[in-house]
Structure 1
């Protein structure tokens, strides 16, 4: 079967030199990060998209901005349904810290819900286009009880645990009344932190939390009326506002190399689609 000889040769080459390929790839990425392109940008765009699982992607984008002291303002593009509590809070703090140094304008043309909204409240301004959905300010703890299924297949888990609540939220049995009460109190505490941070950041009356929170999702018009966003603007209009805030007349955007753009895109999409239905505590 000589017809397969070239294919076999290629596979053997990849197998033989796989470690070398990986090493070269790592070196290229390091060189790109260590030696940024010779630019003098005054504006930059960063993105928060998909499920929020951790803060590493957003942190990496912000860390890159620090390499360009010429920057005067940042546009944060958001399209996310939310995600993990801790990661959303961490990103919110990162955005707030960045906004203390230079103007940060958030814009969404899709969804800015729950943890994604939490992540955005530290920005200088929040804008959305006419078709965007905003809000869903709430906390959820979800799980599954697969005991009936396990009973059918004759599988019985065995667990040894120390601590009355150590098995809380497990999937192979019913939750006890005490466990449900404990989880409910925990979620209430997280929820109170969420609405308090939103009220403080957006200068809203916490006593009116039932109007702007409670897990409700709003269109842009209602979100503006409630004070969750500053205005209803297109992307170009949001950029115009960013230029005013940053004092930039002629924008010079930070440009990423095609390789960097490819890496960002690959990392951004690799986990979001897989873990879109995660169990556990989340701002969703």
Structure 2
């Protein structure tokens, strides 16, 4: 019997640790899935729940502490910068930093306001309307160098004021011109009366806006009040009064010997009148000579023709009190050209009013500007008798009661 079975050699022994590889059929690709990489589990957090909470709390606390420290540093720096921009004066702190008033560019012109009543300095106090401290304006002008600005412009709207404050500005203008060789120009809006004319006479050019009034070259002293035939006085802490049969009169000296000069219960003596009129004549002659010299107007014309009258721009220009009439924008462009600058590449800068932050630090005004007294029932302006109390001659036009109460 034939045995058709074929005999095959036994399989070779295999290592138990090795995988048995089965060759893939050349006609069918292998369907065996490829092994995927296994992700290692995250390491366990150190410590328990308390440790994790404590660590998170410490992180938040350190972050808040850093924020508070940074805020404190920024606030301190802001305070230092703010205080550095303030100047302490007898009338409270004032700002000295600048803001742009007109234009933009590399050329720089410094503008200084001369507005409201002109007082000498902060010791004269504050009036009902904001004013100007002449000595502080003079200090600003004296500190300017050729690097700070190429010219100075005075922006004027004033009824005048003290002779001392007005002359301080005028003298500082002359010192600036001599020290720097640069020009000072004036632009008048609304009014330049009396002390305003005195303060600006030394400028290179005086330009008026449309509709202004210029003039009032003179000095005044008073008012002096007289109660005629007093028969009684009445009053209280809140109200005072005088009863007379002859009425009440007030008198100004527009050009003594008694210790009670100005006593409203007696008339002024002729000797007192002559004494103070002589003093007024001295101040008036100095005022006339000052304007005559710097505006090239004959003194006799000032005394005999101009007097203490106010003039419209056209008439003021005819008399030589001003040089031209221009609006504000036209004037600034003119001032830039006069300073040798391109008007389109020039900015006009001025000392700015206090910001809200600076007000919190005690700033009440811009340096050079007198603050206005707060209005209210029974409020009396904190102004010295030198200005509002008929204690000195003034280069002022109008009623002092409008600014002094």
- Is TM (by shorter chain) over 0.5? yes
Distance 1:47 1:36, change over 3 A: closer
1:32 aligns with 2:85: yes
Quote the residue 1:108 is aligned against: 188
Post-superposition shift, 1:28?
6.2
Q: Secondary structure at the match of 2:282?
A: helix
Q: Deviations over 1:214-256 (max 9, x none)?
A: 2100000000000000111111222122112211112033365
Distance 2:144 2:205 in 1: 19
Quote the residue 1:210 is aligned against: 303
Q: 1:278 aligns with which of 370, 375, 388?
A: 388
- Residues 51 and 82, structure 1, Cα contact 8 Å, conserved in 2: yes
Distance 1:119 1:271 in 2: 24
Q: Deviations over 1:85-114 (max 9, x none)?
A: 222112211122223322111001110000
1:241 aligns with 2:334: yes
Q: Secondary structure at the match of 1:69?
A: coil
Q: 1:152 aligns with which of 214, 228, 232?
A: 232
Q: Secondary structure at the match of 1:71?
A: coil
Distance 1:138 1:272 in 2: 31
Distance 1:170 1:111, change over 3 A: same
Aligned residues: 252
1:269 aligns with 2:371: yes
Quote the residue 2:174 is aligned against: 96
Give the TM-score normalised by structure 2: 0.55
1:128 aligns with 2:128: no
Quote the residue 2:400 is aligned against: none
Q: Where do 5+ consecutive residues of structure 2 fail to align?
A: 1-78, 88-95, 101-105, 121-133, 235-240, 243-255, 356-362, 376-380, 397-405
Quote the residue 1:254 is aligned against: 349
Distance 1:63 1:272, change over 3 A: farther
Distance 2:323 2:217 in 1: 17
- Residues 195 and 209, structure 1, Cα contact 8 Å, conserved in 2: yes
Distance 1:72 1:141 in 2: 40
Post-superposition shift, 1:118?
0.5
Distance 2:303 2:318 in 1: 14
1:83 aligns with 2:136: no
Quote the residue 1:7 is aligned against: none
Post-superposition shift, 1:193?
0.7
Quote the residue 1:173 is aligned against: 266
- Residues 257 and 272, structure 2, Cα contact 8 Å, conserved in 1: no
- Residues 99 and 122, structure 1, Cα contact 8 Å, conserved in 2: no
Distance 1:266 1:76 in 2: 12
Give the TM-score normalised by structure 1: 0.76
Distance 1:165 1:243 in 2: 55
Q: Secondary structure at the match of 1:144?
A: strand
- Residues 82 and 114, structure 1, Cα contact 8 Å, conserved in 2: yes
1:43 aligns with 2:109: yes
> In proportion to residue count, which structure has more helix?
1
Distance 1:241 1:212 in 2: 31
1:52 aligns with 2:164: no
Q: Secondary structure at the match of 2:354?
A: helix
